[in-house]
């Protein structure tokens, strides 16, 4: 089905966040090691990025490596880091050709040096691009991010830089690693799991959730378009009642 034809271009989410899940199960279903699934997952990253650009989505955030993922078998962690470094290095020119800016959220200081350097290089080389921002959540967990923001604010209060009474939503937003990035209107999780897994807990307060059974390596542009169409069928009330929304109150 051609989902793209049905999309209302006046109602595109400006930020879509994705929990890419199911690489390991996909690989095992094909009789391969888990890393095989992660390798194929990169193809889905390319596809979804292309789709996001076609839709003129401004921000696409992908949950690529959580703080909990360090506990996976060493071989898988090393393989994932290696894949990340290789992919980023290979894709920089294409990101530039397509006007895509690379950004990260999370505790990137905790990543291996090679990965940090490759990221730093790609972030600097694509910083001027304005079409779509690809945000990789790396060594990310929302609880870490919220605690980190709390420490930043506490330090400022302690130093007398700010007064406790000035702590509000806006100040908290500025202290998160997503500073400057609007909250996602749409959160997608693949592979049939219905969990948030410590992802963007502050930022998804009013996000629409879309869950699909499709495993990440099978998730293609059409699946993204289908998710956006589904999003467009929702009524976003932000705590109001339906009548208030339709009367534009
Ligand atoms: C979850 O599937 C996937 C990950 C933890 C890693 C996702 C990473 C990639 C697709 C590579 C991305 C690379 C770049 C540069 C963005 P899982 O392993 O938890 O699958 P399972 O639930 O079936 O075990």
Whichever domain contains 8, its CATH number is 3.40.1180.10
Q: What is the predicted pLDDT for the residue at 26?
A: 98
List pocket residues of ligand 1, CB cut-off 6 Å.
20-25, 34, 38, 41-42, 45, 62, 64, 69, 83-84, 87-88, 136, 191
The mean pLDDT value for 170-177 works out to: 98
Question: Residue 154: is its pLDDT beyond 50?
Answer: yes
Which residues have C-beta within 8 Å of that of residue 38, sequence separation ≥ 6? 23, 27, 76, 79, 80, 83
- Residue from 67, 4, 65, 20 nearest 217 by CA: 20
Output the six-digit token pair for 12: 């595109």
Q: What is the predicted pLDDT for the residue at 249?
A: 39
Q: How far is CA 17 from CA 108, 193, 246, in A?
A: 18, 15, 27
Place of tokens 């378009």: 225
- In the annotation, is 93 catalytic? no
Q: What is the predicted pLDDT for the residue at 239?
A: 85
3 state SS of 58: coil
* Triad 205, 210, 213: Cα angle to 5°: 140
Pocket test for ligand 1, best of 17, 18, 20 (most atoms within 8 A of CB): 20
Pocket test for ligand 1, best of 64, 211, 214 (most atoms within 8 A of CB): 64
- In the annotation, is 90 catalytic? no
Query: Which residues on adjacent β-strands are paired with residue 247?
Result: none
The rounded percent of the chain whose pLDDT value lies above 70 is 98
Phi, psi of 131 (to 5 degrees): -70, -70
Residue 173 domain boundaries: 3-248
Question: Residue 127: is its pLDDT beyond 70?
Answer: yes
The mean pLDDT value for 93-112 works out to: 97
Q: What is the predicted pLDDT for the residue at 238?
A: 83
Q: What is the predicted pLDDT for the residue at 247?
A: 59
Catalytic residue among 69, 129, 148, 198: 69
Sheet with 100-105, strands from edge to edge, namely 100-105, 132-140, 59-66, 15-19, 186-189, 208-211
Q: What is the predicted pLDDT for the residue at 245?
A: 76
Domain tally for the chain?
1
Quote the mean pLDDT of the chain: 96
Of the listed ranges 94-103, 166-175, 232-241, the one predicted with least confidence: 232-241
Catalytic residue among 2, 8, 11, 21: 21
Q: Distance, CA 185 to ligand 1 centroid (Å)?
A: 22
Minimum CA distance residue for ligand 1 atom 6: 64
Q: What is the predicted pLDDT for the residue at 43?
A: 97
Report pTM: 0.95
Question: Residue 236: is its pLDDT beyond 90?
Answer: no
Q: What is the predicted pLDDT for the residue at 235?
A: 83
């Amino acid at each position: 089905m051609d989902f793209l034809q049905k999309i209302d271009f006046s109602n595109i989410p400006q930020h879509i966040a994705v929990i890419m899940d199911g690489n390991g199960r996909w690989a095992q279903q094909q009789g391969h090691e888990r890393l095989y699934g992660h390798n194929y997952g990169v193809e889905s990253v390319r596809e979804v990025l292309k789709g996001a650009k076609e839709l003129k989505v401004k921000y696409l955030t992908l949950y690529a490596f959580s703080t909990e993922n360090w506990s996976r078998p060493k071989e898988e962690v090393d393989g994932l880091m290696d894949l990340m470094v290789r992919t980023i290095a290979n894709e920089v020119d294409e990101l530039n050709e397509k006007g895509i800016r690379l950004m990260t959220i999370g505790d990137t200081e905790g990543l291996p040096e090679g990965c940090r350097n490759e990221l730093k290089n790609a972030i600097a080389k694509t910083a001027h691009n304005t079409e779509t921002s690809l945000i990789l959540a790396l060594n990310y967990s929302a609880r870490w991010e919220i605690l980190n923001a709390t420490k930043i604010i506490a330090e400022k209060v302690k130093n007398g830089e700010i007064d406790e009474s000035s702590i509000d939503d806006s100040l908290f937003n500025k202290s998160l690693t997503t500073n400057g990035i609007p909250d996602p209107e749409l959160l997608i999780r693949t592979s049939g799991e219905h969990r948030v897994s410590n992802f963007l807990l502050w930022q998804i307060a009013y996000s629409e959730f879309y869950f699909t059974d499709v495993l990440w390596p099978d998730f293609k542009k059409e699946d993204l378009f289908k998710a956006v169409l589904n999003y467009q069928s929702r009524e976003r009330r932000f705590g109001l009642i339906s009548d208030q929304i339709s009367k534009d109150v």
